[in-house]
Amino acid sequence: MDKQEIEIIKNAGIVGAGGAGFPSHVKFNAQAGTLIINGAECEPMIHVDKLLLEHDFGKVYEGMRTAATLIGAKRIVLALKAKYSDAIKVIEDFKNRTKSDGFNFEILPLGNFYPAGDEQVLVYEVTHKIAPEGGIPLQVGVIVTNVETLLNISNAIGGENVTQKYVTVNGEVASPMTLKVPVGTPVKKLIQYCGGIITGGEYAVIDGGPMMGKIIDMDKYAVKKTTKSIIVLPEDSIVVEHQRRSIHRAVKRAQAICLSCRMCTDLCPRYLLGHELFPDEMMKKMYRGELTDSDLEKFDFAFLCCDCGLCELYSCVVDLSARSLFNYIKAELGKKGVKNPHNRQYLTVNDFRDYRKVPVDRLEKRLEVDKYHSIAPLCDFNAKISEIKLYLSQHVGAPSVPVVRTGEKVTEGQLVADICEGKPGAKIHSSINGVVSEITDSFIIIKE
């Protein structure tokens, strides 16, 4: 393991670009026999990974080599959906041209199912190993990383800190695009650049995909290192309605109309991998009344939920909210200091798993987002960004600590917030030249 390259990754502020934002200097400071590059583009309406593979695979490849060397991987697998034929052709052509350099990797075409990009699902698809309940791929000798994260590693080796982010802007916008923008760019600027919002009625803006994204305030929110897409949907869409639904209302609906059909469990991707996760058991028992402390503890298998949303946005024929209840239970148990007690290591995959994979085409129709089939092409972003908002917490771990003062001049790429001493985290750098205008407990604002 090259400690110098780990320090370069750390100093560049690299975190997982496609998920929760796990600090990459921590992830790659480990040994694993298999490296999986996640190019599955898990959610509908997002196009970043396949476009990076098509247009900048050379940098992704260099990042792949660096990551594989750091962790000592003997098997390197680039997993992406078989339908990404243009990207696969680019990768195969590149691979044929570089046969003599001694670095070999596999291309694994995946089916078009959801959630193919869930890291535990991906580990099984590639290795047929199952990570323990509540565990991570490293426990079965695997590290999973995102396409854009590898591109950032390549850039860091070349001396660039993380100041840019690739984002797909899709949905109810005039011209869907995928853009490379400064971290901290106001979301409103992105939507305006894509021609503005075209829906005639009320709408909601989401950071992330329709299944796992969160509703944001377009006028206040800015792009994070983990922002992969900004999606605009009508206010009356099934996706938005579920997010607006209160926990109290979700419980009342479950009490009144759960059919005890088991579909939420039978299609749960973690249950199908052998995890003891039973959404139907929780939903069937809601008729007893509001959730009590004893109920919370009975449903502690909520910790195993991966938040994919299939149970509430696809499986349930009466439109109940199992995922939202799981999130509520996890939060309440966390407040009481309860940690996940489920950690079985020897799991058996469900015999029907291959027949219960949810096709993305059917999921899109269920969500009523099948009309947003634009490929959101990779386009230049030429808008002038005169102000950025850099969140101090846009990664797993403790919030970053500002190292600049109000009124201080900064340059693009300059460190403005460091890792909290003794805690996991990530460094943050300015993405524009400007002056620090405001520092709070949550963010730094820099203006030209």
Written as one string, the DSSP assignment of 206-240 is EES-TTT-EEE-TTT-B--TT--EEEEEETTSHHH
Q: How many domains does the chain have?
A: 3
The whole-angstrom separation of Cα 212 and Cα 15 is 19
Q: How far from 156 is each of 392, 412, 419, 422, CA to CA, in Å?
A: 21, 14, 17, 23
Q: Is there a single domain that holds both residue 42 and residue 143? A: yes
Sequence-ordered list of residues with C-beta below 8 angstroms from that of 131, at least 6 positions apart, any chain = 120, 123, 137, 139, 140, 142
Q: Please check whether residues 303 and 407 belong to one and the same domain.
A: no
> If you ran DSSP here, which 8-state letter would residue 161 be given?
-
Specify whether 152 is located in the same domain as 7: yes
User: Distance between CA 61 and CA 100 in Å, rounded?
Assistant: 14
Buried b (16+ CB within 10 A) or exposed e, 104-113: ebebbebeeb
Q: Are residues 332 and 447 in the same domain?
A: no
Q: Which two tokens stand for residue 408?
A: 């201080």
Identify the DSSP state of 429.
E
Q: Are residues 141 and 7 in the same domain?
A: yes
Residues 381, 179: Cα–Cα separation, whole Å:
6
Is there a contact between 148 and 48 (Cβ–Cβ < 8 Å)? yes
CB neighbours of 445 closer than 8 A, spacing ≥ 6?
387, 388, 389, 390, 436, 437, 438, 439
Residue 244 falls inside a structural domain: no
Residue type, 79: A
CA distance 14 to 418: 12
pTM of the model: 0.95
Q: String of b and e for 362-394 (b: at least 16 CB within 10 Å)?
A: ebbeebebeebeeebebeebeeebebbbbbbbb
How far is C-alpha 98 from the geometric centre of its chain's CA atoms? 31
| pLDDT at 5 (0 to 100) | 95
Examine residue 264 and state whether it is found in any structural domain, yes or no: yes
73 and 147 share a domain? yes
Domain boundary among 276, 311, 342: 342
Judgement on whether residues 314 and 394 belong to the same structural domain of the protein: no
Residue 394 lies in a domain: yes
Two structure tokens written together for 446: 């820099």
At residue 206, the pLDDT reads: 98
Indicate whether 294 and 407 sit together in one domain: no
| 76 and 142 share one domain | yes
Distances, alpha carbon 136 to alpha carbons 140, 176, 187, 429, 448, in Å = 8, 35, 32, 29, 42
Answer yes or no: is 278 within a domain.
Answer: yes
Range of the structural domain that residue 437 is part of: 386-448
Examine the fold and report which residue of 103, 129, 157 is the final residue of a domain before the chain moves on. Answer: 157
For residue 397, tell me if it sits in a domain.
yes
For residue 210, being part of any structural domain is answered with no
Which of the listed residues 104, 128, 157 is the one where a domain comes to its end? 157
Is there a single domain that holds both residue 32 and residue 149?
A: yes
**pLDDT at residue number 268:** 97
The C-alpha atoms of residue 416 and residue 38 are separated, in whole angstroms, by 30
Element (H, E) at 280: helix 279-284
Q: Which structure tokens are listed for 20?
A: 């929760």
Report the distance separating Cα 242 and Cα 336, nearest Å.
27
Q: What is the mean pLDDT of each run of 10 residues along the chain (448 residues)?
A: 88 92 96 97 93 97 97 97 96 89 92 95 97 96 97 97 98 96 98 94 96 96 97 96 90 85 96 95 73 76 95 94 91 90 94 96 95 89 96 96 98 98 95 98 97
Distance of CA 185 to the CA centre of its chain: 19
CATH number at residue 391: 2.40.50
Q: In terms of domains, do 56 and 128 share one?
A: yes
Residues 225 and 182: their CA atoms lie apart, in Å, by: 9
Nearest to 446 by CA among 225, 193, 189, 186: 186
Q: Are residues 305 and 447 in the same domain?
A: no
Give a yes or no: residue 202 inside a domain.
Answer: no
What's the start-to-end Cα distance of the chain, in Å? 41
pLDDT of residue 88: 97
CATH of the domain at 25: 3.40.50.11540
Residue 333's alpha-carbon distances to 59, 212, 249, 281, 293, in angstroms, are: 43, 21, 20, 18, 9
Instruction: Identify whether 193 is part of a domain.
Output: no
